[in-house]
Amino acid sequence: MHGGYSTREAFWEATKFVGGLLATLALPAVCWVLAAGPKLKRTAADLAALDPGLWLLFLIGLFTLLLPALTAIVVGTDMPSLWALQGLFLLALIIVCGARFPVERFHTVNLMVGVVVFAVIAIVVAAPYYAYERHVRRENDRAFYRIAANEITQRWHALTDAPLPVISGSDDLAFATAFYSPDHPRYSRPFRLQYTWPVPPQNVLARGWAALCFAEDTPCVSWMDQVKERAPNATRAAFTARPTLLGHPGATAAIQMLIVPPEAKKARARDGVAPTVALDELGASRR
């Protein structure tokens, strides 16, 4: 969700936005201080002597970083600092192009060594630790996508030889299944249906249809119940997804699935090609 915040909450989100950008700039700033050395005292004078082109870039970069924070407060939304990384490049460009002194070789060598050491630490120590923390704690659901896609694909083929043509349900699970499943089922969500959960029409269900929902996603699960009432031949199942990392089990997620096998007279999959389904019909399978 990126909206619906109160003024106080939006202000806090804007503060985190600015803080995230400052944290991103912290390491490059330290590197520049070490490389410039005593000549850093000339930075203010160099910035004051910037030519009009660099001043324009400076203003563009500054407002690229500040205006999103103000917008977040006014419209009551959040603004992840990751979205403004392109503005940081302008600030770095201005600092480098505006400097009117050479950087000594000694400092550049030390800077290069520091970057290499930092990269090694990040790759060898920080990255594995971060990966393990995300593995044992359910901070996001990306680790379950491939598992869910493979599970529903296997159960689909246990009921029919036709490729899985359509996938619906929770956005993240449905899009991931379209990518990870060997059948690469179609998924469509027309803009007009993004806030509703209509039950797919009978002709869509007759061609074969499936859906995935996280068990805690109440609207999705309730919608799945409605689809089950329209499709008496549907198979409803639940399973627990738990990824492993180097043999170590991680966090778990309860996932529910609904499979509607194609009717024998409507199944037209031949030579591994799924039936053609109109996008408007597919759109009715999802909010």
Note down pLDDT in tens along the chain; length 287 residues.
466 778 888 888 888 888 888 888 888 888 778 777 777 777 777 777 788 888 888 888 888 888 888 888 888 887 788 888 888 888 888 877 877 777 777 777 887 888 899 889 989 998 888 888 888 888 778 889 999 999 999 999 999 999 999 999 888 899 999 999 999 999 866 555 555 677 888 888 889 999 999 999 898 999 999 999 888 889 999 999 999 888 889 999 999 999 999 987 544 444 444 443 333 343 334 44
On whether both 150 and 261 belong to a single domain, the answer is yes
Q: Supply the pLDDT for residue 1.
A: 47
Judge contact between 152 and 259, C-beta under 8 A: yes
Q: Is residue 161 part of a domain?
A: yes
How many other C-beta atoms can be found within 10 angstroms of the C-beta atom of residue 37?
13
On whether both 149 and 92 belong to a single domain, the answer is no
Judge contact between 196 and 279, C-beta under 8 A: no
On whether both 150 and 279 belong to a single domain, the answer is yes
On whether both 89 and 147 belong to a single domain, the answer is no
Beta 209-214 vs 167-169: how paired, if at all? parallel
Domain boundary among 55, 82, 103: 103
Domain boundary among 85, 103, 121: 103
Q: Is residue 129 part of a domain?
A: no
Q: Supply the pLDDT for residue 86.
A: 80
On whether both 268 and 161 belong to a single domain, the answer is yes
Domain boundary among 47, 77, 103: 103
Question: Residues 68, 72, 75, CA angle at the centre, nearest 5°?
Answer: 125
On whether both 150 and 277 belong to a single domain, the answer is yes
Q: Is residue 113 part of a domain?
A: no
Tokens in use for 149?
A: 């896609």
Q: Supply the pLDDT for residue 3.
A: 62
Q: Is residue 151 part of a domain?
A: yes
> 274: helix, coil or strand?
coil
Q: How far apart, in whole angstroms, are the C-alpha atoms of residue 197 and residue 286?
A: 6
Angle of helix 105-121 versus helix 7-36 axis, rounded to 10: 130
On whether both 48 and 99 belong to a single domain, the answer is yes
**Among 194, 179, 185, 191, which Cα is nearest to 142's?**
179
Beta bridge partners of 6: none
Domain count, the chain: 2
Q: Is residue 89 part of a domain?
A: yes
Q: Is residue 70 part of a domain?
A: yes
Q: How far apart, in whole angstroms, are the C-alpha atoms of residue 160 and residue 262?
A: 8
On whether both 82 and 203 belong to a single domain, the answer is no
Question: Taking the model in full, what pTM does it have?
Answer: 0.62
On whether both 90 and 220 belong to a single domain, the answer is no
Q: How far apart, in whole angstroms, are the C-alpha atoms of residue 181 and residue 149?
A: 5
Strand order across the 253-260 sheet = 167-169, 209-214, 253-260, 235-241
On whether both 30 and 150 belong to a single domain, the answer is no
Contacts of 128 by beta carbon, 8 Å cutoff, 6+ apart: none
Q: Is residue 233 part of a domain?
A: yes
On whether both 23 and 71 belong to a single domain, the answer is yes
**In which domain, by residue range, is 170 found?**
142-283
On whether both 278 and 154 belong to a single domain, the answer is yes
Q: Supply the pLDDT for residue 284.
A: 38
Q: Is residue 114 part of a domain?
A: no
